[in-house]
Homo-oligomer: A and B are copies of this chain.
Amino acid sequence: MKKPPTIKDVADLAKVHAATASRALNPQTRDKVSARTANRVLEAAKSLGYAPNSAARSLRTKTSSVAGVIIPDLRNPVFPPIVRGIEDALREAGYMALLGNTDGNTERENELLLAMRGRQTDGFILATGRRADPAPPDGVPTVLVNRRTDIGDIPSVTCDNTAGVFSAVRLLVDLGHSRIAHVAGPQELSTGWERRRAFLDAMAAFDLEVPPDRIQMSTAFTEDAGHIAAQRLPVDITAIIAGNDLIALGCYSALERFGLQCPRDVSVVGFNDIPFANQQRPALTTVRIPHYGMGFESARLLLERISAPTSPAKRVVLPVELIRRDSVAPCSR
């Protein structure tokens, strides 16, 4: 178990001084070195399998090229592609991701933020979407993904929830539906709140009534919670827009329980287009959101902020796409 090579080893092998090796190794300063020496150094580095010691570099430069990524739970199917997108964008810039799960627990989130900041994290990407979250640790660049705060003081990357719900409502209206219900996600999360908001706006735009009992709150973005909430809906509805796909699946099972068939009796639209949405019976009509792209963009935005921390807080909104499958049909009642 020998110790990894240092820049000194590389320099010795290339017969230059460590300072020169440093300049040759760093693309930023490479042009302050003759091309010939630079090549020699680069080759020496490769032959030794040299990797810069980032602790030393961090100590010197006060940056770590590491971003903290904090999400509620990786097992929620929306997050893997987001995290993957983040990682790909970070990698392009030589950054890596420190990952942490909070299970929606604020205390744990704060612990994680503290622990990561102690590890010299250059910035944070948070997907832990409460609407009223306190501003993150000051001075450390932060970007929100898939959520945003009510006051727009933190840069964020979200998808166009409003347009997505509007297109779903429009589709149902075009199919003749008017008694449309909404099983909303948790209202303390920006996604749950925005989609309910958009639902009300869209229904109003189409001059359709929404009696209070046609909106039921699901306590979580899960199939079980959706099932429970859907059972409270009145029986005269002909279509449901669900807060997300898992809630939509909960609606499926609730309908089944009431002896109703989808889409014959009730149409259902989800949100997210998770994997396997197209394999459900019936295949789920849903609003596809660009998970990977949102992750990717959020990392780009973070990198931007890291290099220009005082730039104004952008809010990026990515377009969504309605994917029509078998869970919607013309209104029969």
The one of B53, B83, B87, B115 in contact with A120, judged by C-beta atoms closer than 8 angstroms, is B53
The one of B4, B53, B114, B137 in contact with A59, judged by C-beta atoms closer than 8 angstroms, is B53
Contact present for B117 and A4 (CB under 8 Å): yes
Tell yes or no: A98 within 8 A of B by CB: yes
The one of B56, B114, B279 in contact with A49, judged by C-beta atoms closer than 8 angstroms, is B114
Contact present for B96 and A139 (CB under 8 Å): no
Q: Assuming the A-B contacts A2-B138, A59-B56, A279-B249, are A80 and B87 also in contact, with contact meaning beta carbons closer than 8 angstroms in the complex? A: no
- Distance of A80 Cα from B83 Cα, bound (Å): 11
Contact present for A96 and B116 (CB under 8 Å): yes
- Distance of A209 Cα from B101 Cα, bound (Å): 49
Nearest residue (CB) in B for A280 is B279
Nearest residue (CB) in B for A117 is B51
A117: B residues at CB distance < 8 A: 4, 51
Q: Assuming the A-B contacts A87-B101, A97-B98, are A119 and B73 also in contact, with contact meaning beta carbons closer than 8 angstroms in the complex? A: no
Nearest residue (CB) in B for A49 is B114
Shortest 8 CB-CB contacts between residues of A and residues of B: A1-B139, A51-B118, A55-B58, A276-B276, A55-B59, A74-B80, A54-B119, A51-B114
